[in-house]
């Protein structure tokens, strides 16, 4: 059994771009270079949310071995979100 999923909350707004591509809706968070995709805006945003949480969890789990760019991305995550206690 794995650990419980991370619960996060945004403490600062960040831009998300929505656009249509080949019959799908794409949600893009340029601050993180993460994407979500779905059949509707809601599905694309939900997929983006999952992508952001997975990336944050990965970076946190590997913090000690991150290079400069990934460490910078983790710092950016920490500026914009906080974990629920």
- Calpha distance 67→83 (Å, rounded): 23
| pTM of the predicted structure, to 2 decimals | 0.79
Domain extents in the chain: 8-83
- Calpha distance 34→44 (Å, rounded): 11
The CATH number of domain 8-83 is 3.30.160: yes
- Calpha distance 56→62 (Å, rounded): 10
What pLDDT does residue 1 have?
Answer: 45
Q: What phi and psi, each to the nearest 5 degrees, are found at residue 51?
A: -60, -40
Q: pLDDT 10s per residue in the chain (85 long)?
A: 455 555 666 656 788 999 999 899 999 999 888 999 999 999 999 999 899 889 999 999 999 999 999 999 999 888 877 776 6
Joined together, the tokens standing for residue 4 give 């419980």
What pLDDT does residue 31 have?
Answer: 85
């Amino acid at each position: 059994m794995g650990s419980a999923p991370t619960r996060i909350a945004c403490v600062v707004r960040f831009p998300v771009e929505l656009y249509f591509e080949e019959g799908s809706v794409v949600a893009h968070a340029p601050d993180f270079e993460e994407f979500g995709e779905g059949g509707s805006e809601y599905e694309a945003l939900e997929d983006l949310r999952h992508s952001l949480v997975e990336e944050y969890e990965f970076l946190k789990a590997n913090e000690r071995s991150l290079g400069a760019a990934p460490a910078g991305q983790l710092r950016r995550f920490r500026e914009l979100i906080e974990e629920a206690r």
